[in-house]
Amino acid sequence: CVCVCVHFLFNVPVYWTKCHANDSSLCVLCIAGCQKLKRLLSFAIGGLLGDVFLHLLPEAWAHSCTPERGYEHHYRSQGLWVLLGLMSFLLLEKMFPDEDTPNETPRVTASSHSNGFCHDTKAASSHLQPPKKIKISGYLNLLANCIDNFTHGLAVAGSFLVSRKVGFLTTIAILLHEIPHEVGDFAILLRAGFDRWSAARMQLSTALGGVLGACFALSAQSQRGAESATAWILPFTSGGFLYIALVNVVPDLMEETNPRQSLLQILLLCCGIAVMAILSAVVD
């Protein structure tokens, strides 16, 4: 995960700076940066979908599906928590919309942007300005990651309450699942307007959620208490990840008109799902 993140930190060029330094190479640089980040976003979508349907939801079902609670009630409650998570993220984005100037409507095209992700505007100005405000989708992704890491902290601390061996195995399993997930999250933060170092710092800051989750589980001194919290937090987080992947990121990829690039994006999306499927099979 560290190697991949470092690769993109130093190899995704700052295209906005380069374009202003050499206007003759504007088109080539921006197209290259746009396509590179779109490929990474395609992998991110696959990783998020794979994480939701192959990891988070099955784990939530395993924690809450017991004969005492009733299977019908279990399935209904899990679905409601997913919908609640999705609607909560929709409400947050409605409450804090991205503000565009009246004469500019940014969209994903082959123009310039500081992270290699490209925006075009309807303005006639020949000098595009870098975005002054981070998109709300970036903060939503960070919120979802904090909640996800909280559940990981619950799982790790709860497993150590059982035994040291179970704790170490759970920690390794979570680390393996997080490798493709963190790479995709880095791309989503770049898309939202974070620069490369800010995206890396914000990703590291979400680890605080894991610490809080571990403290919560240890204070409860019971694995059952951690599992009860996980049973509703996991589907809620799944709804948030579904919203980010399908509402925020997929529309950008739908604007691709090059058949070759579209096929490559679909393959990378499938690759993201396949990686999560392989990790789930190996770990489980």
Is pLDDT of 1 > 60? no
pLDDT per position as a tens digit, 97-140:
766 544 444 444 444 444 554 554 444 344 444 544 788 888 99
Is pLDDT of 159 > 90? no
Alpha-carbon distance of 112 to 99, in angstroms, equals 19
Residue 235 tokens, joined: 């589907």
Residues 43-72: what's their mean pLDDT? 78
252: Cβ contacts below 8 Å, ≥ 6 apart: 38, 41, 108, 191
Residues 154-168: what's their mean pLDDT? 77
Residues 220-248: what's their mean pLDDT? 78
Alpha-helix residue ranges (DSSP H) falling in the chain: 2-11, 15-21, 26-51, 57-64, 71-95, 136-162, 164-192, 196-205, 207-220, 223-243, 250-254, 259-283
Residues 167-183: what's their mean pLDDT? 77
155-164, 172-181, 183-192: range with highest mean pLDDT: 183-192
Residue 147 tokens, joined: 């909640």
The pTM of this model reads 0.69
Which residue type, as a one-letter code, is found at position 102? P
* Higher-scoring residue by pLDDT: 264, 151: 264
Residues 216-240: what's their mean pLDDT? 75
Which residue type, as a one-letter code, is found at position 173? A
Is pLDDT of 273 > 90? yes
What is the pLDDT, as a whole number, of residue 32?
66
What is the pLDDT, as a whole number, of residue 16?
32
**Phi and psi, residue 112, nearest 5°:** -100, 150
Alpha-carbon distance of 36 to 10, in angstroms, equals 13
